[in-house]
Structure 1
């Protein structure tokens, strides 16, 4: 599990973290407790308008991904796999009042879209973490699922992230706060990565590996692509960069993992990043209920090989 914050850095509501055997979601903002109401603007939720503990208090797994359609499909898939008694028609977008994100709750599982890039997922994570905090959720596992560009691996491979790195191959996330650059660690939960990897051994249809994931601020030049509106480097220089990335242990490139890792680590969330759904199903089923008969019919999200 991700490191628990020292007592001096925990939330002002310390009573929430005193239950033996439970790991609660933290916030690192002393001003939240002095607020009369906390409005989660981009999720269309609030502490006065909604009973967050009643709505979300049983959440144990949060799966996030960029595409709203993909996360709705994942919600419907989990509903089928968990064999819940309510109808699929009852699965509604909780964030329907806003056009920024979508959110679906399927038993103890939340499926949420985060858009594309660090700014978009950062906004969603701030409000998601506050949601889990206000709902008094404990022992929450969060997993990002999506597509990415592969480096030196076959298209269709699954990369489970053990460490998110920046464009300099460093395990860090640099956040500009006021006129300061604050550097935060991006280490993800290695035990969770191993657990998902072990689940993947039950499936032989596609290769799965654990590796570093590089996070960039751009889809085109930042990832060494030659097909953008701008390209300020040669083909040879781009290939050399990708080879150096591969030698540094990087196996895929996307645009959200560093801030995802940094915020999960700071707020006591057990998290990892992966680029496909199949492995998650076994983990979620085993944890949510016993005796489920697993199906292996799911969408495999293709990776575009870059090297």
Structure 2
């Protein structure tokens, strides 16, 4: 039997309208209104076990990335950059009760790991968006920080996603729900992308562009790589596909951007994707860059987003 909703359809629509006008993060699930508790299982947080508004109500920026270690390092970095009180070494994992995701808070900034691939990102986003909603967070900006494979770019180039596209170069995220395929738009905030590009242009030795980002469901064959355990195509076929992608405006490849863009767009969240390209896929599939250089590359999105956050908080002036 379907759950009986405690709110009328009119009240739900009215509440969503009020949330939008107030800037409060919205959810698009009327069934949540009938639940006595919402337990965010993969965060080990709940509406009855935790005071989510007290814990997270001041959050204005959420930065997410695949690696738990990298997102802890970013939390410590932004803590220092914002000049917050206390030692950055004391930043603790809020989700220590689970081994799925890691979450760190530095003032108004949340830093969260999302794992690798669409399913892991999707689960994290469902619970993150509900968390922000329950905490009554307002005017939140969410940014994915990551690494990627570049197409026709010099290694170390930072790509701010203009449009997130699938493997057919289409701006959509398709998902099977109850045996039916649903498609959601992967539109991202253009003003936010431009503001981030402006920040990148102010940082020395941080080449930054806006380009389309392709999301795949696989790291190997799905990205046209020749170095997996299986390979069903030739090098010539790979290069032909990458050339088509480049012609379609794709400048980098990763594994989360379409679901990230679709879910944020559906919930009216201002969102962006900022990834550094670790290699040019036209030149090969495996990363041969020295480790210390890769570490510097991985810091570029963090520095760029840090500058953006500081400007938004009035700690830096715009040129």
Q: So what's the TM-score if we normalise by structure 1?
A: 0.89
Q: Which moved more, 1:80-89 or 1:42-51?
A: 80-89
Q: Determine the structure 2 residue equivalent to 1:72.
A: 72
The alpha-carbon distance between structure 1 residues 100 and 11, as it changes in their structure 2 partners (threshold 3 A), is farther
Q: Determine the structure 2 residue equivalent to 1:171.
A: 171
Q: Determine the structure 1 residue equivalent to 2:180.
A: 180
Q: Determine the structure 1 residue equivalent to 2:47.
A: 47
Find the aligned partners of 2:255 and 2:74 in 1 and give their Cα distance.
21
Q: Determine the structure 2 residue equivalent to 1:288.
A: 313
The alpha-carbon distance between structure 1 residues 128 and 225, as it changes in their structure 2 partners (threshold 3 A), is same
The alpha-carbon distance between structure 1 residues 9 and 201, as it changes in their structure 2 partners (threshold 3 A), is farther
Q: How does 1:133-212 map to 2 (within 5 A)?
A: 133-212=133-212
Q: Which moved more, 1:30-39 or 1:15-24?
A: 15-24
Q: Which moved more, 1:23-32 or 1:250-259?
A: 23-32
Find the aligned partners of 2:11 and 2:205 in 1 and give their Cα distance.
44
**Conserved in 2, the CA contact under 8 Å of 1:10 and 1:26?**
no
Structure 1 residue 206: Cα displacement: 2.8
Find the aligned partners of 1:145 and 1:107 in 2 and give their Cα distance.
19
For residue 218 of structure 1, give the secondary structure of its aligned residue in structure 2. Answer: coil
Structure 1 residue 270: Cα displacement: 0.1
The alpha-carbon distance between structure 1 residues 40 and 10, as it changes in their structure 2 partners (threshold 3 A), is farther
For residue 59 of structure 1, give the secondary structure of its aligned residue in structure 2. Answer: coil
Find the aligned partners of 1:12 and 1:53 in 2 and give their Cα distance.
21
**Conserved in 2, the CA contact under 8 Å of 1:211 and 1:250?**
yes
Q: Which moved more, 1:213-222 or 1:22-31?
A: 22-31
Q: Determine the structure 2 residue equivalent to 1:58.
A: 58
Q: How does 1:53-132 map to 2 (within 5 A)?
A: 53-132=53-132
For residue 263 of structure 2, give the secondary structure of its aligned residue in structure 1. Answer: helix
Structure 1 residue 11: Cα displacement: 8.8
Structure 1 residue 23: Cα displacement: 1.7
Q: So what's the TM-score if we normalise by structure 2?
A: 0.86
Find the aligned partners of 1:10 and 1:74 in 2 and give their Cα distance.
42
For residue 209 of structure 2, give the secondary structure of its aligned residue in structure 1. Answer: strand
In the alignment of these two chains, the number of paired residues is: 285
**Conserved in 2, the CA contact under 8 Å of 1:60 and 1:140?**
yes
